[in-house]
Chains A and B, each alone.
Chain A
Amino acid sequence: MKNVLGVIGLLVVVCLLTALASEHFMTGRNIENLMRRTALFGLLGLGAAFVIVTGGIDLSIGSIVCLVGCLTPYLVVECGWAPGLTVAFVLGVAALLGVVHGLLITRLRLQPFLVTLCGLLIYRGIARGITGDQSQGFRSGFSDLRFWGNGRLEVGVFDFAVPAPAVVLAVVAILAAIALSHTVFGRYLRAIGRNEQAARYAGIATDRCVVAAYTVCALLAGLGGLLFVFDVGSAQPADFGNVYELYAIAAAVLGGCSLRGGEVSVLGVVVGAAVMQVLRNAITLVPWIPDAIEYAVIGGVILAGVAIDEVVKRAVAQRRLRNSV
C-alpha cells in the first residue's frame, strides 16, 4: 500500500493543477473520457504487471494491440465472420502468442526482451500483411459489438456516464488483484520474481507459471486491442498501438512494480495509467502548454514524481531509524 501512495499523490497533484489551469477539466464529459482512456491503457498495464512481477518484460504489447485491432474489423467486415466468433478467435490468438512467448522463454531459455522484441516486429508485420496495409474499420456499423469500447452507461447526473471499458477494467482489475495477492498462483509469480532458482528448488513449477504470466499479458493486450478498436472504430496496421508497450510498462512501474520482479500493485498500475492520460489531457486542455512538448511534459512530470516519492520515502525511513534506536 505504501508503494501506491506516491503515485496516488502524483495523480492528485496533476489533477489539481490541471483543474486550476482549465475550467473544463472537471466536467462530466472530460472525466468520462479520462476514465475510458485510463481503462484501455490500464488493461495493457495490468497485463504488463503480470510479466514484470516475474522479473520479465513484454515488448510485444503494442503489436498485439495492433494485430487484434486490425484483425477484428477485418474479420467482421471484410470476411463477414460472426462478431462473437471473431472476438473469441482474436482473443484466442492473443493468448496463444503469449503461450508461445512463455514456451520460448522457459524451454529454449531465450531472453524475454529478445523474444518479445521479435514479437513486436512479427505481429505488426503480420497485421500489415494480412490487411495489405489498408486501414480496417467498422464503417459505422456493429454498434452493439462496439459498445464495450465506446459505450456509455448513463447515471443521470450532469453530462456524465460510466464508460463501458471502465467496467471491463474494474472486473479485470479485481480479478488480477485477487490472482496476484490472494492466490497460490500469485504467490508463485512473486516468488519467481524474487528468486526463480529458489522457487524451482522449492518444488514450484516455475516454467508453467512463467508461461501463464506471458499468456495473461498477451491476453490482456488482446483485450485492450479489441476495446481500442471498438472505441476508435478503425485501426491502421502501420501505427495502431505503436509504443503502447512502453505506456503499459511505464504504468506498471509507476504503480510500484519493480522491474527486478517480485513487487506488484494492481491499484498502483491503474493509477499509473491514469496519471499518463491526465497529463496528455492537460496538454490539450490547457491553452498555454504547446502540443509539441507533450512527451517532454509526460516524461518530466513522471520523473519528478518518482524522484520526489523516493526522496520522501528515504526521509521517512531515516526518521524511523532515528526514532527506533
Chain B
Amino acid sequence: MLNARGIGRRFPGVMALDGVDLDVRAGEVLGIVGENGAGKSTLMKVLAGVEQPDDGELIVDGLHVSLTSTADAHRLGIVLIHQELALADTLTIAESIFLGRETTRFGFTQARDEHRAARRWLELVGLDVKPTRRIDSLTLAQRQLVEIARALSTEARVLIMDEPTACLSPTESSRLFDVVRSLRAAGVAVVLISHRLGEVEALADRVVVLRDGRRVGELVGEDVRAAQMVPLMVGRDLAAHATDHERALGPALLNVRSVTQDDLASETSMTIRAGEIVALSGLVGSGRTELLETLFGLRARSAGTVHVGDRAVRSGSPRAAIAAGMAFVSEDRKATGLLLEETLTTNIGLARLALRREGDGLLAAGIFPSRPNERALAHASIGELAIRPTDASRTTATLSGGNQQKVVLARWLAIGPRVLLLDEPTRGVDVGAKAEIYALLRQLARDGLAILFASSDLEEVLALADRVLVMHDGALRGELPVDEASEESILQYATGQTPT
C-alpha cells in the first residue's frame, strides 16, 4: 500500500539516503534495522512527510504522491511515532490524542465527547487510565501508548514506530508488542525501527537492513534472525556479545553505607571492587536513576556515607563526587549530557575543565582555558574511542547517537575516574557502537575501575555484568552473581516476588 522508489536525501557532506526502495504492506510488521547513521530515521521522516526526498518517488495505493508536511502524510493515513515522544507535558491524555483535531461546537472544545472517544482508543491499546490525567503524570511507557492511541485515532493505516521500546521495561515492552500484533491482525501496516534486534526478531514478518544510506538486504520469515541481521548491518562479523568475566578484582573502590534519600524507599548499602562491573537492574521507575544520582551527589542524601577508596564524598555535590574520582554518564544525553550546539572539543573537555578548582591545570592556565591542551585531549579521545567523524571542531549535534554517547564517555574518561556510574549506557546506540562501548567498559574494568551501570536491557545486563543488583520500588531487593542470574530470576526480584 505504500511504496518508496529510489529515495535519496542529502545532508551537508553526507548522503543520508541513496536510492532506497521500500514496500510497506497492510497487515504486516516490517522491521527496519541498521546502525545509527545508516539512514533509518531519515527514511522514516521521508515516509511521514517530515522531510522531503531529493530524489525518488512515493507511491500510495498506486498513486504518486508528494508529501510536503506531516499533515499530508496524516491525510493518507501514515503516522510516525517519534523516538523522542512529542507530547506536551501539561495537556491531558484526551487533549493530546485530539490535538489539532479538537471536537468543537461553536468554537468551544467538547471535553466530554473527547473523553468518551479517548477512552475507546485507550482501551484498544490496553492503557487503563483516565483520559483526564495530565501527560506529565504518566510513565514513559504509558506516554508511548498514548502516542499510539493518538495515531490510531487518526485512522492510521501505516504506523511507523521509531525505537518504541527505548525506555520501556521488559513487561511494558511485551504489552506494547501485544498491541502491535493486534494492530497487524486488524490490517494495519506497522514499520518498526529498533536497535533491539531480539524484538525485531520476535515481531517482524520481514526486515529491511540499511547501511550507509543504502539498502543492503532483506530478510523474510525464517530468516528474520538477529544473527543474520548483524553481519548485514555492520558489514563485518562482530564478536559483540562475547562475554568476558575473567578479571582480577582489586580492593573495594566504591563503598556505600546506609544511604537514604527522599526518593528511595530504604537504606542502601553496596560495595564495588576495582575491576568489577555491577549492573543495576529493575523495571522503569524502580529507583535506579534516583540511586545513581544520589551516589553522584545530584540529589542530596538524608543519611549515610559514600566513599571512593578512602575518600568520603560530600552529600549533594556533583563537584565533590567528581573530585573524589566519580564519573556519571547520565541517561538522557540531550537533556543532561551534551552541549549539542558546541564542538566536540568543548564537550570532551567540560568535566576536566571543571576540575580546575581541584588544582588540576591541564585544561586551564589560571582563568584562561588552554586551547592547545583541549584540542590535544579531544584528538586523543577521538582516536581512543574511535569517535566518527574524527573532526574535533564539529558541532556535536551532527554526530550519530552512538558517537554522541562516546563523546560523553570521553568527557568522563578525561578526568581519570576511579568509579564510573552509567545510566542506560547504550540507549539509542546502534549495534556497532554498542559492541565498542561494551569492549571499552571491559577494558576500563581491567584497568582497575569500579563500574556500576543501570540498564533495562536484560541482554545487556547479562552480557556485561559480573554481578547484578536488582531494584524494586526504590530499594535494592536482590543480588545475583552473573552465573546465577537469568532473565527469569532478575524479573522475579524486579517485580517484587521473592524467588524460592
> In their complex, do chains A and B touch, with some C-beta pair under 8 Å?
yes
Within the complex, the shortest CB–CB distance from B378 to chain A, in Å, comes to 14
In the complex, chain B residues whose CB is within 8 Å of the CB of A321: 10-12
Give residues of chain A (170-193) contacting chain B, Cβ–Cβ below 8 Å.
182-185, 187-188, 190-191
In the complex, chain A residues whose CB is within 8 Å of the CB of B368: 182-184
Across the interface, do A184 and B350 meet the contact criterion of CB distance under 8 Å? no
Q: Is A205 an interface residue when CB atoms closer than 8 A count as contact?
A: yes
Give residues of chain B (298-354) contacting chain A, Cβ–Cβ below 8 Å.
298, 318-319, 321-323, 328, 330, 335-342, 346, 350-351, 353-354
8 A-B contacts (beta carbon < 8 Å): A182-B368, A183-B368, A194-B339, A198-B338, A200-B298, A201-B318, A202-B411, A321-B10
Across the interface, do B351 and A203 meet the contact criterion of CB distance under 8 Å? yes
Closest A-chain residue to B355, C-beta based?
A203
In the complex, chain A residues whose CB is within 8 Å of the CB of B341: 194, 262
Q: Is B369 an interface residue when CB atoms closer than 8 A count as contact?
A: yes
Across the interface, do B318 and A195 meet the contact criterion of CB distance under 8 Å? no
Across the interface, do B339 and A198 meet the contact criterion of CB distance under 8 Å? yes
Besides A191-B350, A204-B350, 18 other A-B contacts (C-beta < 8 A): A185-B367, A187-B346, A194-B339, A194-B342, A195-B336, A195-B338, A195-B339, A195-B340, A198-B338, A199-B339, A199-B350, A200-B318, A202-B350, A203-B318, A203-B323, A262-B341, A262-B342, A324-B12
Hey, what's the 0/1 contact readout for B1-36 against A, CB within 8 Å counting as 1?
000000000111111000000000000000000000
Q: Is A325 an interface residue when CB atoms closer than 8 A count as contact?
A: yes
| Contact among A182, A194, A200, A203 for B369, CB-based, below 8 A | A182
Across the interface, do A187 and B369 meet the contact criterion of CB distance under 8 Å? yes
Q: Is B356 an interface residue when CB atoms closer than 8 A count as contact?
A: yes
| Contact among B328, B336, B357 for A197, CB-based, below 8 A | B336
Q: Is A109 an interface residue when CB atoms closer than 8 A count as contact?
A: no
Q: Is B179 an interface residue when CB atoms closer than 8 A count as contact?
A: no
Q: Is A2 an interface residue when CB atoms closer than 8 A count as contact?
A: no
Across the interface, do B350 and A325 meet the contact criterion of CB distance under 8 Å? no
| Bound complex: CA A34 to CA B321 (Å) | 53
Across the interface, do A198 and B336 meet the contact criterion of CB distance under 8 Å? yes
| Bound complex: CA A35 to CA B354 (Å) | 39
Within the complex, the shortest CB–CB distance from B196 to chain A, in Å, comes to 26
Q: Is A107 an interface residue when CB atoms closer than 8 A count as contact?
A: no
Hey, what's the 0/1 contact readout for B72-115 against A, CB within 8 Å counting as 1?
00000000000000000000000000000000000000000000
Query: Taking each of A187, A190, A201, which has the highest tally of chain B beta carbons within 10 Å of its own beta carbon?
Result: A201
In the complex, chain B residues whose CB is within 8 Å of the CB of A204: 319, 350, 354
| Contact among B351, B356, B411 for A184, CB-based, below 8 A | B356
In the complex, chain B residues whose CB is within 8 Å of the CB of A202: 350-351, 354, 411
Interface residues, chain A, with chain B CB atoms under 8 Å away: 182-185, 187-188, 190-191, 194-195, 197-205, 262, 320-321, 324-325
| Bound complex: CA A76 to CA B357 (Å) | 42
Within the complex, the shortest CB–CB distance from A249 to chain B, in Å, comes to 21
Within the complex, the shortest CB–CB distance from A204 to chain B, in Å, comes to 5
Across the interface, do B12 and A198 meet the contact criterion of CB distance under 8 Å? no
| Bound complex: CA A183 to CA B346 (Å) | 13
Within the complex, the shortest CB–CB distance from A3 to chain B, in Å, comes to 13
| Contact among A183, A190, A195 for B367, CB-based, below 8 A | A183
Q: Is B482 an interface residue when CB atoms closer than 8 A count as contact?
A: no
Across the interface, do A190 and B342 meet the contact criterion of CB distance under 8 Å? yes
Closest B-chain residue to A320, C-beta based?
B12
Give residues of chain B (402-434) contacting chain A, Cβ–Cβ below 8 Å.
411
Across the interface, do A325 and B13 meet the contact criterion of CB distance under 8 Å? yes
Across the interface, do B319 and A325 meet the contact criterion of CB distance under 8 Å? no
Q: Is B203 an interface residue when CB atoms closer than 8 A count as contact?
A: no
| Bound complex: CA A314 to CA B356 (Å) | 40
In the complex, chain A residues whose CB is within 8 Å of the CB of B328: 201
Q: Is B364 an interface residue when CB atoms closer than 8 A count as contact?
A: yes
In the complex, chain A residues whose CB is within 8 Å of the CB of B367: 183-185
Within the complex, the shortest CB–CB distance from A258 to chain B, in Å, comes to 9
| Bound complex: CA A202 to CA B337 (Å) | 8
| Bound complex: CA A197 to CA B318 (Å) | 12
| Bound complex: CA A268 to CA B342 (Å) | 20
Query: Taking each of A182, A187, A198, A325, which has the highest tally of chain B beta carbons within 10 Å of its own beta carbon?
Result: A198
| Contact among A201, A320, A325 for B10, CB-based, below 8 A | A325
Within the complex, the shortest CB–CB distance from A190 to chain B, in Å, comes to 7
Within the complex, the shortest CB–CB distance from A150 to chain B, in Å, comes to 34
In the complex, chain A residues whose CB is within 8 Å of the CB of B369: 182-184, 187
In the complex, chain A residues whose CB is within 8 Å of the CB of B323: 203
In the complex, chain A residues whose CB is within 8 Å of the CB of B340: 194-195
Within the complex, the shortest CB–CB distance from B379 to chain A, in Å, comes to 19
| Bound complex: CA A191 to CA B11 (Å) | 27
| Bound complex: CA A197 to CA B328 (Å) | 13
| Contact among A191, A197, A205, A325 for B335, CB-based, below 8 A | A197
| Bound complex: CA A203 to CA B321 (Å) | 9
**Given A183-B367, A194-B341, A203-B355, do A324 and B319 touch, yes or no (CB 8 Å)?**
no
Across the interface, do A198 and B319 meet the contact criterion of CB distance under 8 Å? no
In the complex, chain B residues whose CB is within 8 Å of the CB of A195: 335-336, 338-340
| Contact among A184, A191, A203, A324 for B342, CB-based, below 8 A | A191
**Given A184-B367, A325-B15, do A203 and B354 touch, yes or no (CB 8 Å)?**
yes
